Chain A
């Protein structure tokens, strides 16, 4: 059974598929309500409605230019929706101060952007914005989580692409997000780093039961990582369902 996106009664009124039943039993943590964005009159994201449950991993899959990244940017309000909204933990996100919202909805981008300085300074960046100082022990724990123990004093200039992306992941986790958005986190990496970072992300998600929305153009990666998959085409959500259902549709 395939859920048809945009048809709210259908999407959320049906019995959830087996593979996503577990996560569907959890409360809804984030909900996009008819979310749209148009630029110069051209719809980039068109009336996408989806609920994401606590501990669930939702993969957004689609070809280049289908609006995957644009949709993700609307979720943490890096871009403003033309219409529709997002509800986070039951609150319309326009009522949440942008900095607090972005602290709660973390993001890891396709290219790892690190601030000049040490790995530790990068991890401290988010908490410092709220006048919180991350202890050395907390930093070391985060770095162990991403497979980089002992990297605290290292400068970021000499890190490999894979290492830089792991630091970005640890930096996002340092903010203790409620939901983590990942925009093709492995697509800018070489094959070897790609597999390492992917298995690392899988481990962290499973270990911490973190709610994640991951954008990928790789259906196999979506199948390995996600509970549910949403297919985007030209800004429209054309299918939402469990991996098996979407794959065999």
Chain B
């Protein structure tokens, strides 16, 4: 329908973006009816996402034509931005930015380095940046889920945790079950993506490869490679993140910092 109304590509794109954003806002309104308030967070996320992707789109061609060493700086900048984004999921825990950035750098960074060294990832900017950004973005999501779950579990079980501390347990032992639960929960999207690959989900990367003339079997295998890398990067991020955050939730005198009032 929009294609009949808007002839120019830019106008059409803006109209499509407005329609998609409307769908998101309808969900926010439905949630609001159930006293779930996502208005501010969703609006900010939609606007930020739109501005950021348009800004990137404007300079992407230039970036992709740059020398190979620029990849390092671009990916490092993405890691810092990802750390800043997901730190909000650990409100009340000091050092959440450092934990998030360090976890994403360890998780996504080590997989990118290893896969580049093995030759799974090409060192061309045009290949490394898109796939690297996918790994970093998924690591960020996993980190956010892990921190969010850990925080919620600790806040819901302050009594149990302090009982364990009062019986002479250390911080690690006191929150061990919540660390495990947050690690498992954070990996659900990555595991489900792998499980449903080719059945529920035909990813854009594979479709793009097919359209650009790659052999279907190779495109399919490479898509699996990307998802396996995403799982590895996400899993490593969650492992590091949950290990780091548990020590940040306590003082040096082993007192729980997270309390419901925070």
Contact = CB atoms under 8 A, between A and B. Distances in A.
Interface of A: 76-80, 94, 98-100, 102-103, 106-107, 109, 111, 113, 115, 125-126, 129-130, 171-172, 175
Contact of B254 (A98, A130, A172): A98
A126 B167 CA distance: 5
B10 interface: no
Nearest to B158: A113
A129 B167 contact: yes
Interface of B: 159-160, 162-170, 173, 251, 253-256
B255 A77 contact: yes
B159 A99 contact: no
Given A109-B159, A113-B159, A80 B167 contact: no
Contacts of A126: 167-169
A188 to B, nearest CB: 11
A107 B164 CA distance: 10
A151 B164 CA distance: 21
B255 A78 contact: yes
Cβ-closest 7 pairs across A and B: A103-B168, A126-B167, A98-B254, A107-B166, A113-B163, A113-B159, A129-B168
B159 A171 contact: no
Contact of B255 (A80, A109, A130, A172): A80
A102 B253 contact: no
Contacts of B168: 99-100, 102-103, 126, 129-130, 175
A184 B217 CA distance: 69
Nearest to B173: A129
A94 B252 CA distance: 11
Nearest to A40: B261
Given A77-B253, A78-B255, A79-B255, A115 B160 contact: yes
B253 A80 contact: yes
19 contacts: A78-B165, A78-B166, A78-B255, A78-B256, A80-B251, A98-B165, A98-B253, A99-B169, A100-B168, A106-B166, A109-B159, A113-B159, A125-B167, A126-B167, A126-B168, A126-B169, A129-B170, A129-B173, A172-B167
B242 to A, nearest CB: 20
Nearest to B261: A39
B251 A99 contact: no
Contacts of A111: 159
Nearest to A104: B168
Contact of A125 (B159, B164, B256): B164
Contact of A102 (B159, B165, B251, B256): B165
